[in-house]
């Protein structure tokens, strides 16, 4: 009779098995649904301004409230899954989120829509906070890299397609239909996830230990590098989301007068991130994160300058540069957080994701105030200031002493979040 340890090892999901294929299908669908549901409102903000008669900053609350609540809820979602189970929390997260987005398409007034988008931040938190933990428990170490990659790919495709589908459908049938289609796709993806994902075999319920959890969170701020890395996450996503929040306002207006479909297609630039995150992450592993992080912010700064011109070609190039730099920077910083987290990797990852999504919430809303005062030039100066601050921090982190090499690879927990 094999020991429990050998039995558990034999039962881990491996490459080439049907369980592996089902797991990858499930997590690809989960990433597709989660980030499609989250970001589908981004290209529709000008539509919300016209339909409900609200300002750009107020319209941005449709995303900022969701990401702000998501940031806080993710700190606790992992602990809830410790008690309730990984798959149960993730299934409930996806299905309830899809239903909320479907209801958003029916809301008669702006405050009702914002209420549902706020609740969406709570329901969505169960997937990104738990998916990586499920993989680390259930998948063999030799196969987890591919499984992680497919989940992240689904996240990238979801973030892009949610924006694109909502924008294109809006041109033909109105924004309610655009949101409804994305909600329906999310519901189908959630059902695929529920049916395809193998049940947890290595999960052991444990009671929430809040005192120990908070002690580990507090200990991270004694590290000389982690607080600055958390700030980098705030600045990265804050700058990126602000650009995408108000891009539509500029391109739909004179002198460009683009259609909602054309603006949605420009959001396809988002896909360059699937390349840059892997390429810059690999390059950072070879050259060192300290030596490469500043280049991501420098590229974003160049992109911001290009968006201030009157040339549509240069604006599109600038958006591509901002996107490339953002995804590369996120890949470097998130892996660096896991590296410095030590025994508190899960808590370090959670705090990084908290800062990351708070950047989206706070900066994404604040950018609307600059747009109202100075139109796109105001937004560009605001984003440029954030990127410049990130660049200065990156140059200071260059002098941070490197950690010794680890015998085992760091957990990829913090890489599970995509915008």
Residues 186-204 pLDDT 10s: 999 999 999 999 987 776 6
Higher pLDDT, 338 or 387: 387
Res 5: pLDDT: 41
Based on the fold, state whether residues 171 and 250 are members of the same structural domain. no
Based on the fold, state whether residues 316 and 253 are members of the same structural domain. yes
HSE on the CB side for 342, CA within 13 Å? 12
Question: Would you say 176 and 287 are in contact if contact means Cβ atoms under 8 Å apart?
Answer: no
Our count of domains for the chain comes to 2
Question: Would you say 227 and 346 are in contact if contact means Cβ atoms under 8 Å apart?
Answer: no
When the pLDDT of each residue in the chain is averaged and rounded to a whole number, the result is 85
Higher pLDDT, 296 or 15: 296
Residue that terminates a domain, selected from 197, 229, 245? 197
Higher pLDDT, 313 or 24: 313
Based on the fold, state whether residues 134 and 25 are members of the same structural domain. yes
Q: How confident is the model at residue 6 (pLDDT cuts 50, 70, 90)?
A: very low
Assess if residue 212 is contained within a domain. Answer: no
Assess if residue 211 is contained within a domain. Answer: no
3-state secondary structure the chain: CCCHHHHHHHHCECCCCHHHHHHHHHHHHHHHHHHHHHHCCHHHHHHHHHHHCCCHHHHCHHHHHHHHHHHHHHHHHHHHHHHHCHHHHHHHHHHHHHHHHHHHCCCCCHHHHHHHHHHHHHHHCCCHHHHHHHHHHHECCCCHHHHHHHHHHHHHHHHHHHHHHHHHHHHHHCHHHHHHHHHHHHHHHHHHHHHHCCCCCCCCCCCCCHHHHHHHHHHHHHCCCHHHHHHHHHHHHHHHHHHHHHHHHHHHCCCCCCCHHHHHHHHHHHHHHHHHHHHHHHHHHHHCHHHHHHHHHHHHHHHHHHHCCCCHHHHHHHHHHHHHHHHHHHHHHHHHHHHHCHHHHHHHHHHHHHHHHHHHHHHHHHHHHHHHHHHHHHHHHHHHHHHHHHHHHHHHHCCCCCCCCCCCCCCCHHHHCCC
Higher pLDDT, 59 or 16: 59
In this structure, what is the dihedral angle of CA atoms 135, 140, 144, 150, given to the nearest 10 degrees? -70
Domain CATH code at residue 113: 1.20.1250.20
Question: Would you say 352 and 331 are in contact if contact means Cβ atoms under 8 Å apart?
Answer: no
- Copy the structure tokens of residue 117: 């988008």
Instruction: Print the domain residue range for 188.
Output: 14-197
Based on the fold, state whether residues 248 and 301 are members of the same structural domain. yes
Assess if residue 376 is contained within a domain. Answer: yes
Q: What is the pLDDT of residues 226-266, one digit of tens each?
A: 899 999 999 999 999 999 999 999 999 999 999 888 888 88
Residue that terminates a domain, selected from 182, 197, 212? 197
Residue that terminates a domain, selected from 197, 230, 262? 197
Q: What is the pLDDT of residues 332-377, one digit of tens each?
A: 888 788 677 666 666 777 788 889 999 999 999 999 999 999 999 9
Q: What is the pLDDT of residues 103-146, one digit of tens each?
A: 999 999 999 999 999 999 999 998 887 877 787 777 776 666 56
Q: What is the pLDDT of residues 68-91, one digit of tens each?
A: 999 999 888 877 777 778 888 899
Assess if residue 275 is contained within a domain. Answer: yes
Based on the fold, state whether residues 241 and 312 are members of the same structural domain. yes
Q: What percent of the chain has pLDDT over 70?
A: 84
How confident is the model over 316-342, as a mean pLDDT? 86
Based on the fold, state whether residues 180 and 245 are members of the same structural domain. no
Highest mean pLDDT among 8-22, 127-141, 219-233, 269-283: 219-233
CA–CA separation, 8 and 331 (whole Å): 31
Question: Which range, of 210-224, 374-388, 403-417, averages the lowest pLDDT?
Answer: 403-417
Assess if residue 8 is contained within a domain. Answer: no
Based on the fold, state whether residues 185 and 293 are members of the same structural domain. no
Based on the fold, state whether residues 267 and 410 are members of the same structural domain. yes
Based on the fold, state whether residues 78 and 31 are members of the same structural domain. yes
């Amino acid at each position: 009779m094999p020991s429990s340890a050998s039995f558990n090892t034999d039962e881990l999901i491996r490459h080439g098995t049907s369980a592996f294929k089902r797991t990858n299908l499930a997590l690809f669908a989960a990433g597709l649904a989660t980030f499609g549901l989250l970001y589908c409102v981004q290209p529709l903000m000008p539509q919300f301004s016209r339909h409900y008669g609200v300002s750009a900053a107020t319209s941005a609350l449709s995303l900022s409230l969701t990401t702000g609540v998501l940031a806080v809820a993710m700190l606790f979602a992992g602990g809830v899954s410790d008690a309730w189970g990984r798959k149960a929390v993730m299934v409930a997260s996806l299905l309830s989120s899809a239903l909320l987005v479907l209801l958003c398409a029916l809301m008669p007034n702006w405050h009702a829509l914002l209420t549902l988008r706020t609740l969406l931040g709570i329901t969505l938190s169960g997937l990104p906070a738990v998916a990586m933990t499920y993989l680390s428990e259930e998948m063999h170490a030799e196969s987890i890299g591919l499984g992680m990659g497919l989940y992240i790919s689904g996240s990238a495709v979801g973030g892009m397609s949610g924006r694109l589908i909502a924008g294109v459908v809006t041109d033909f049938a109105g924004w309610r239909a655009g949101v409804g289609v994305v909600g329906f796709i999310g519901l189908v993806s959630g059902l695929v996830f529920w049916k395809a994902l193998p049940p947890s075999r290595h999960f052991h319920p444990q009671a929430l230990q809040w005192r120990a959890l908070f002690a580990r969170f507090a200990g991270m701020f004694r590290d000389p590098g982690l607080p600055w890395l958390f700030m980098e996450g705030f600045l990265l996503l804050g700058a990126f989301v602000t650009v995408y929040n108000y891009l539509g306002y500029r391109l739909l207006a004179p002198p460009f007068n683009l259609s909602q479909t054309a603006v949605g297609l420009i959001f396809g630039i988002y896909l360059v991130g699937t390349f840059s995150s892997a390429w810059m992450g690999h390059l950072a592993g070879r050259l060192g994160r300290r030596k490469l992080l500043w280049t991501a912010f420098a590229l974003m700064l160049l992109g911001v300058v290009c968006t201030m011109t009157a040339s549509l070609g240069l604006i599109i190039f600038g958006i591509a540069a901002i996107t490339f730099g953002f995804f590369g920077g996120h890949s470097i910083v998130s892996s660096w957080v896991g590296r410095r987290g030590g025994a508190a990797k899960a808590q370090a990852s959670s705090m990084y994701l908290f800062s990351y999504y708070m950047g989206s919430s706070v900066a994404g809303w604040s950018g609307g105030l600059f747009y109202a005062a100075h139109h796109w030039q105001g937004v560009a100066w605001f984003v440029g200031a954030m990127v410049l601050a990130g660049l200065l921090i990156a140059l200071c982190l260059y002098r941070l002493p490197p950690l010794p090499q680890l015998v085992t690879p760091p957990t990829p927990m913090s890489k599970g979040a995509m915008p």
